[in-house]
Amino acid sequence: ADRWHALGLAHHRSARSPTIPASACTTPLPWLPFPSPPTEQAAVEVEKKPPEEEDKKKSGGGGGQQAGGQGAGPLGGSSPSGRACRPIWMAWEGAIGIDLGTTYSCVAVWQNGHVEIVANEQGNRTTPSYVAFTSSKRLIGDAAKNQADMNPANTIFDSKRLIGRRFTDASVQNDIKHWPFKVISGPEDKPMIAVKYKGVEQQFAAEEISSMVLVRMRETAEAYLGSTIKNAVVTVPACSTDLQRQATWNAGVLASLNVMRIIPEPTAAAMAYGLHNKVTEWGVVENALVFDLGGGTFDVSLVEIEFYIFEVLATAGDPHLGGEDFDNRMVNHFVQEFKRKKKKDISGNPRALRRLRTACERAKRTLSSTEEAVIEISCLYEDIDFYSTITRARFEELNMDLFRKCMDIVEDCLRDARMDMSSVHAVVLIGGSSRIPKIQQLLQELFNGKELYKSINPDEAVAYGAALQAALLTGPNNDNEGWMSDLLLLDATPLSLGLGTKGGDMTVMIPKNRAIPVKTEIVISTDYDNQPCIRIQVYEGEGAKTCDNNLLGEFEFSIPPASKGVPQIIVCFDIDANGILDVSAKDKNTGEKKKVTINKRFHLKQ
């Protein structure tokens, strides 16, 4: 019951972020060693514990190898040079930036006057967004992905494609065909992931899986800083729905994080670009188009940058388009080839498909730098070895319709912003799939030969920008530069929001690409005499009819008996800086008011 309550927590957001004194921010000493790799079991096992138990473990009991060095207890010890270590695992009042990706996640922190990307225990600057369950433990990150071929039914990936969605959504049903793990329908059409953990069948919501990844990212930063961390800025795709943003927020709550802000991934990347490219002169305006093609989502944002002010002019995207879809095309191609050559159908064998997918992912990366890649898998199915090759041209042919779709979305974004291509000063590539040569070629052709901006790491730029926003929200400290107080982010609504009216029409309250935070009102009345209540239905989308849009929620507002058209009900839509919506209704005559926050699928919190 507590777990389900946590999944639907109402969010308490303050209007102002706290100002943290400089003395509260700790900086690790240069000689403080990174924790030595623990035993395999200790490195990969993450048991479910209450947040307070986890905090107690990190701040109190037990010696062993902590971030203070070999043999150092949790309060520090001696450095390799014999100097006394400062106490560690104190509460760090700053905030980290987390890029919660579909396939990989990344964490960054503002420290020593710049952003630092934090490497995990394996020394990698990105961590696979994988969670695996075995008969004895739970694995997260690299350890989970490394054993996926042997344990496909209990190794979860792509959970971000389920977050904030319905089980009956067409995209979910299509994804289920490609996943080796089981997804079933839960309460209120919520997709639930079914696994076998320690010999027991268990079900997890997508935000629970995402929360486990967030915990790992938090722990990675804690090991680096030598302090416990509570505050974070987490990114979401720009085209995320309100439900998906709320579900991501809930994942942060489950990970014992105070999510200070939810920001769109391309907006975070635009901040990274602006500061990296020093677009900070007063009076100089630059329009940057951020092309973010990741593992599971595709976003395009047009951002105007002027003297540390980043204003989103327009956003477009597809929440179900990315590198995973390119992999699926290649997997299907080789499944058919295996069937044709070996007369065997492996489409129903999870382990064979997982091994083939791993090989296809590797081949896709290889094709970004060479013209041909080899697929070689021993004993793929029934002791049959599989060997094949794929050329870059064939890979492009398999995915050309998806590549073209990316270009169409870029044009949609420019059209929404009423801007021609000649007015775009920079095209910034973000996301691992933006490395695909054909994507770059099509994009360059679209912009009449303009050079693409590739000087920032596409895998790290989003976390970099999130860390900048985190530093801004935690207030001035000794690590912050003077310009930090000038930094301003003006985001925009990714989708139109409105009311359902008589006849099934959609009355738009807040149009797409409106700057946020934003608040707007409309007056509505009754349809017939002595109408006892008004049903307020909140929709999200671009369709003229409500049936073509996404129902966020609905509630009834009671009114006293009166003649048709006499009651005056003021309906207010209020979107905060995180893009999360509050809706209120007020009777102009009686003063009665009802305010709700859409905080869980089909549920409204009064």
Q: For helices 437-446 and 392-416, give the axis angle rounded to 10 degrees.
A: 40
Residue 309 Cα to chain centre, angstroms: 23
Token duo for residue 130: 């994988």
Q: How far apart are CA 296 and CA 174, in angstroms?
A: 13
Catalytic residue among 99, 304, 459, 540: 99
Report the C-alpha dihedral over residues 534, 540, 541, 542, rounded to 10 degrees: 50
DSSP code at position 375: E
Reading the block at residue 62, the tokens are 């037990």
Tokens of 187: 């309460």
Sheet holding 569-575, edge to edge: 518-524, 569-575, 581-587, 593-600, 603-605
Distance CA 604, CA 601 (A): 8
Planar angle of CA 358, 364, 369, nearest 5 degrees: 135
For the record, the structure tokens of 333 come out as 């191609």
Q: How many whole angstroms separate alpha carbon 326 and alpha carbon 395? A: 8
Q: Measured between alpha carbons, how far is 282 from 277 in angstroms, rounded to an integer? A: 15
Separation between Cα atoms, residue 83 and residue 94, nearest integer Å:
26
Strands (E) across 177-217 are located at: 182-185, 191-197, 200-205
Cα–Cα dist 427/413, whole Å:
13
- CB of 538 closer than 8 Å to CB of 499: yes
- Helices 242-254, 206-225: crossing angle, 10 deg rounding: 50
Phi, psi angle pair for 21, to nearest 5°: -65, 150
Asked whether the beta carbons of 298 and 366 are under 8 A apart, the reply is no
Q: Which of 54, 58, 93, 160 is catalytic?
A: 160
In the set 121, 242, 292, 304, the catalytic residue is: 292
Q: How far is 465 from 275, CA to CA, in rounded Å?
A: 9
Considering the candidates 242, 265, 311, 459, report the single residue annotated as catalytic.
265
Q: What is the DSSP letter of 422?
A: G
Among residues 322, 176, 128, 308, the alpha carbon closest in space to that of 239 is found at: 322
- Beta carbons of 36 and 70 less than 8 angstroms apart: yes
Cα separation, 579 vs 589, whole angstroms: 31
| Residue type (1 letter), 112 | N
Element (H, E) at 117: strand 114-117
Instruction: Establish whether 160 is a catalytic residue.
Output: yes
Residue 517 preceded by cis peptide, ω within 30: yes
Check if the beta carbon of residue 594 is closer than 8 Å to that of residue 584: yes
Known catalytic residue at 605: no
Can 99 be counted among the known catalytic residues?
A: yes
Residues designated as active site:
99, 160, 265, 292
